Amino acid sequence: MPYTSYSILTDDDVHALYTYFRFGVTPVDVRAPDTKLPFPMNLRASLKVWNLLFLNKDAYQADPHQSAEWNRGRYLAQGAAHCSVCHTPRGFMMQEEAGLELSGGQVGTWYAPNITSDTASGIGSWTREELVEYLRTGRLRGKAQAAGDMGEAVEHSFQYLSAADVEAIATYVKGVPPIHDSRDSAPRFTAGKMSSELATLRGTDGIRSDNDAHPTGAELFQGNCASCHSAQGQGSKDGYYPSLFHNSATGSVNANNLIATILYGVDRTTSKGQAYMPGFGGKPTDFTALSDEEIALAGNYVLVHYGRADIPITAQDVAEVRRGGPTSPLLALSRIGIAAGVVIVLLILAFVIVRKRRRAH
Ligand code: HEC
Ligand code: HEC
């Protein structure tokens, strides 16, 4: 629940939301689901401490040096649209890192990339109109598509914003200070090119049909991806099936979105219709399911031929995304702390018992 962003909403807007939920939403009597937050984050007391440390309770302060449109955009982007909840990296206590606004963050399975104005690491070379189109439809030909959490944000939220509000958000986001990652020398969407290697392999030993037990990357690509994205990776003419080169998911320094797309596919419905790609991460008994090793092979085939060949993925990377993404070091540490506590208590108990027995003798 991104209340950390909603806290900047004006009293008028919170009141309008209250009125809508109170009188516009039909009451349904069902028990709220139990939290899925892991221990110790599921304790309210730990959230209270966190809020004391990190929650900003001040309402939005307009910047008088900027235009009314920019201020409206910042108010929406930082508040209701909560872009930074996903796109800003988090520190050790899971707080959004001050000074690294919108420079890229992991959201469970998916990676919300750097969208600062840096031309290589961010979206500095997108026009404002392109950003508006992406937020409205979740698709920008030759650049990016929205799957996972971004697909949901577009489908359930951004596509319904008024034209003036999306344009205001784009104006603000385009002006966010650039943050550069030294591993990026060119924009994500410029990576890779068309490759006709598959055609040259067909009918040779490079692609065999009797090889189901130990498929190669090329065979997995031909069997699972080429039918939609085409054998040369250029997708379909109408752009419904995107090209795999000039695609930010394959040109990113972080390959998690390529892995997550193969595992979970894409399913996003907007006024432009449905964008649908099946996932290949089903149970091992599903006949379409691919193992972690196979996804790594297919993914690396895609990266080497159509994307950033310098970012290979391993079966361990796939397993981590399948488990729900990297876990916070804080969680690991608090669990180590709890485990250490348990060990200490057990040691004290053992000590007490041994002493009692000695005395008894
Ligand atoms: C719930 C999490 C979430 C929220 C909220 C969110 N994003 Fe995203 N965003 C993502 C993820 C995840 C991706 C990667 C999607 C993919 O590649 O399929 C993404 C991708 C993008 C991209 C494409 C970048 C590229 O190079 O591919 C842009 C632009 C973007 N988001 C802008 C925004 C803006 C602006 C907002 C706020 C108005 C926003 N996002 C809110 C999670 C989020
Ligand atoms: C049935 C057709 C189909 C198949 C098969 C298919 N895809 Fe896709 N793929 C799509 C569609 C449709 C989209 C989404 C287009 C959009 O978002 O507008 C997509 C999107 C993608 C994206 C971009 C995702 C993002 O978040 O930016 C990647 C990468 C991708 N596919 C790779 C693959 C790989 C690798 C395979 C094989 C393992 C594969 N696809 C198989 C139809 C398919």
Question: Would you state the pLDDT for residue 211?
Answer: 65
Q: Is the CB of 122 under 6 A from ligand 2?
A: no
Question: Would you state the pLDDT for residue 197?
Answer: 82
Tokens 């099936």 belong to 241
Long-range CB pairs of 40-49 (<8 Å, 24+ gap) are: 40/334, 40/338, 41/331
Handedness of CA 144, 149, 155, 161 (dihedral sign): negative
Q: Is the CB of 140 under 6 A from ligand 2?
A: no
Mutating to test ligand 1, I would choose from 86, 96, 123, 169 the residue with most ligand atoms within 8 A of its C-beta, which is 86
Residue 4 has a CB neighbour count (10 Å cut-off) of: 17
pTM of the model as a whole: 0.91
Run of H or E residues at 275: strand 273-277
Give the model confidence (pLDDT) of 201-228 as tens digits. Answer: 877 777 776 667 789 999 999 999 999 9
- What ligand is nearest to the CA atom of residue 80? 1
Mutating to test ligand 2, I would choose from 140, 237, 238, 261 the residue with most ligand atoms within 8 A of its C-beta, which is 261
Residue 283 has a CB neighbour count (10 Å cut-off) of: 6
- Each of the 361 residues of the chain gets a pLDDT tens digit; together they read 899 999 999 999 999 999 999 999 999 999 989 888 777 778 888 888 899 999 998 889 999 999 999 999 999 999 999 999 999 999 988 899 999 999 999 999 999 999 999 999 999 999 999 999 999 999 999 999 999 999 999 999 999 999 999 999 999 999 999 999 999 999 999 999 998 888 788 777 777 766 677 899 999 999 999 999 999 999 999 999 999 999 999 999 999 999 999 999 999 999 999 999 999 998 888 888 999 999 999 999 999 999 999 999 999 999 999 999 988 777 777 778 778 888 888 999 999 999 999 888 7
Provide the angle, in degrees to the nearest 10, between the axes of the packed helices 292-306 and 256-264.
130
How far apart are alpha carbons 134 and 113 in whole angstroms?
A: 14
Query: For residue 273, how far is its CA from the centre of ligand 2 (angstroms)?
Result: 16
Q: Count how many Cα atoms sit within 13 Å of the Cα of residue 180 in the half-sphere of its side chain.
A: 8
Residue 241 has a CB neighbour count (10 Å cut-off) of: 17
Query: For residue 142, how far is its CA from the centre of ligand 2 (angstroms)?
Result: 13
Bond preceding residue 187 cis, omega within 30 of 0:
no
Q: What angle do CA 180, 146, 91 make, to 5 degrees?
A: 45
Question: Would you state the pLDDT for residue 40?
Answer: 75
Question: Would you state the pLDDT for residue 209?
Answer: 66
Question: Would you state the pLDDT for residue 188?
Answer: 96
**For atom 41 of ligand 2, which residue has the closest CA?**
225
3 state DSSP class of 298: helix
**For atom 36 of ligand 2, which residue has the closest CA?**
225
For residue 253, give the amino acid letter.
V
